[in-house]
């Protein structure tokens, strides 16, 4: 009998894993990819959607287009995971696996910040970004607060990009002088592993008159008074609040008993959980790397190689190195990047590359290469 691989979640990690298994094993693979959604959206496309550079419909890459030997996709919601039995129950049935990979990402805990939804907006979900694409064009004066309510959160540079793109958007509409932008972050600098990247972002904020409030959390919003309460007692008035909500593993993962402190602990070298034959990759896991698609992919590559080695023999993967490049929108069509390395050496490093035409092209290729690899045969 062929070894059954069950991949829970078709995001960065799940899609990369399914692709590698199919490429290596072809019809000999027996992989089932399960996701509750009918489409994948790159995280950074949400910024494009909120600022009207792309419609949500155009950003959605439909799973029905997946065409890969040895891989079957089903659109079902996972309602129970039994990691000991490697058995999963969904809205459509029950499945057992020889290799079970949890790639369910991080969910948002909107209720964890009182007033966030009643009084503000968030731009981290598809629906939140779409809603903002209707609100932002009507905003022409007042205080904008971009607030990250807690860490860890996905893609550490994304809220900085939001502030810079907001500056551009308001400038293009001729209303920038009537608006103030304040950016509140629980971290001390915009991209802590890379002081150079942080310095470039801080300089960009200063040039554009964006106020940066480091090392502070937004604890709650008072919708009646339109004030954001910070963790040091400060209150910030706002006319438009753009939030990054609290993150945590999906409820179904927490209910499975696999989590500790909100996420699934794994061996950071192999992504193995404490259950034999069960792995966790990407934002759902505590693998010692930031929450970003590139790290989910890197983790998936390690798991894929080890699963392939178990199925057909061959070399096992080296350890997960926690390396990846994150692109950063600086506004004005400029794109910089940072090469992050979290696990290969004794310290975290982040090498900054200033915005350039090459990086604009690299970011476009990043999306088109993955779209082609993950969705076509
Ligand atoms: C604004 C923004 C900008 C970003 N920019 C970048 C960037 O430039 N570069 C980068 O690398 N990363 C970026 N990210 C982060 C990136 O999107 C995530 O870190 C990445 O998607 C994580 O991959 P994953 O495979 O762990 O989970 P995900 O991609 O989140 O996939 C998890 C999947 O699990 C499914 N799922 C969850 N629960 C269930 C259930 N119960 N049943 C069935 N299916 C379920 C979900 O539908 C989802 O498809 C950005 C994120 C945001 C919000």
Residue 315 CA to residue 324 CA, distance in Å, equals 23
CA contacts within 13 A on the Cβ side of 197: 28
* Inter-residue contact 73 to 35 (CB < 8 Å): yes
Instruction: Give the pLDDT confidence score for residue 318 in this predicted structure.
Output: 86
Tell me, which fold does domain 5-106+249-316 have in CATH? FAD/NAD(P)-binding domain (3.50.50)
Two tokens at 356? 């350039």
Atom 26, ligand 1: residue with shortest CA distance: 282
Do the first three CATH levels of 5-106+249-316 and 109-247 match, i.e. the same topology?
Answer: yes
Task: Reply yes or no: is the peptide bond before residue 152 cis, omega within 30 of 0.
Answer: yes
What CATH architecture is 109-247? 3-Layer(bba) Sandwich (3.50)
Q: Where are the domains of the chain?
A: 5-106+249-316, 109-247
Burial (CB < 10 A; 0-12, 13-18, 19+), residue 251, is exposed
Please compute the mean of the pLDDT values over residues 90-97 and round it to a whole number: 97
Q: pLDDT of 154-173, one tens digit each?
A: 999 999 999 999 999 999 99
CA-79 nearest atom, ligand 1:
41
Instruction: Give the pLDDT confidence score for residue 377 in this predicted structure.
Output: 65
What are the CA-CA distances from residue 81 to residues 304, 355, 362 (Å)? Answer: 21, 44, 38
Q: What are phi and psi of 8, to 5 degrees?
A: -95, 110
For the chain, what's the residue count? 377
Cα 12 to ligand 1 centre (Å)? 6
Please compute the mean of the pLDDT values over residues 259-267 and round it to a whole number: 96
Whether the pLDDT of residue 198 is over 90: the answer is yes
Q: pLDDT of 127-142, one tens digit each?
A: 999 999 999 999 999 9
CA contacts within 13 A on the Cβ side of 362: 16
CA contacts within 13 A on the Cβ side of 331: 21
- Among residues 354, 290, 346, the alpha carbon closest in space to that of 323 is found at 290
* Inter-residue contact 46 to 56 (CB < 8 Å): no
Mean pLDDT of the chain: 96
Ligand 1, pocket-test mutation among 9, 34, 289, most atoms within 8 A of CB: 9
Cα 291 to ligand 1 centre (Å)? 9
Burial (CB < 10 A; 0-12, 13-18, 19+), residue 348, is middle
Residue 50 CA to residue 64 CA, distance in Å, equals 25
CA-162 nearest atom, ligand 1:
1
Residue 22 CA to residue 290 CA, distance in Å, equals 27
Residue 107's SS3 state is strand
């Amino acid at each position: 009998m062929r070894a059954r691989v069950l991949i829970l979640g078709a995001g960065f990690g799940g899609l990369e894993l399914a692709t590698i298994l199919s490429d290596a094993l072809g019809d000999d693979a027996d992989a089932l990819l399960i996701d509750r959604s009918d489409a994948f959206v790159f995280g950074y496309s949400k910024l494009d959607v909120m600022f009207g550079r792309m419609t949500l419909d155009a950003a959605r890459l439909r799973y029905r287009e997946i065409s890969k030997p040895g891989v079957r996709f089903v659109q079902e919601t996972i309602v129970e995971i039994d990691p000991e039995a490697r058995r999963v129950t969904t809205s459509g049935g029950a499945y057992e696996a020889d290799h079970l990979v949890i790639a369910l990402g991080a969910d948002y805990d909107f209720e964890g910040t009182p007033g966030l939804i009643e009084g503000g907006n968030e731009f981290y979900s598809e629906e939140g970004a779409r809603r903002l694409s209707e609100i932002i064009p009507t905003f022409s004066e007042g205080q904008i607060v971009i607030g990250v309510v807690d860490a860890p959160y996905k893609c550490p540079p994304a809220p900085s990009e939001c502030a810079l793109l907001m500056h551009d958007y308001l400038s293009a509409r001729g209303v920038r002088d009537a608006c103030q932008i304040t950016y509140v972050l629980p971290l001390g600098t915009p991209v802590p592993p890379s002081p150079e990247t942080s310095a470039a972002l801080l300089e960009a904020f200063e040039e554009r008159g964006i106020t940066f409030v480091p090392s502070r959390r937004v604890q709650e919003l008072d919708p009646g008074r339109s004030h954001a309460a910070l963790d040091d007692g400060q209150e910030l008035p706002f006319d438009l609040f753009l939030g990054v909500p609290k993150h945590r593993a999906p409820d179904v993962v927490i209910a499975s008993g696999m989590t500790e402190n909100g996420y699934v602990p794994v061996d950071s070298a192999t992504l193995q959980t404490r259950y034999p034959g069960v792995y966790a990759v990407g934002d759902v896991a505590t693998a010692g790397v930031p929450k970003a698609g590139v790290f989910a992919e890197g983790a998936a590559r390690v798991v894929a190689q080890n699963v392939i080695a178990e199925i057909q023999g061959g070399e096992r993967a080296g350890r997960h190195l926690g390396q990846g490049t994150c692109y950063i929108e600086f506004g004005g069509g400029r794109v910089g990047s940072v090469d992050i390395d979290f696990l290969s050496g004794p310290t975290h490093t982040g090498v900054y590359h200033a915005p350039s035409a090459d990086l604009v092209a690299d970011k476009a290729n990043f999306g088109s290469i993955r779209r082609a690899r993950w969705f076509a045969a």
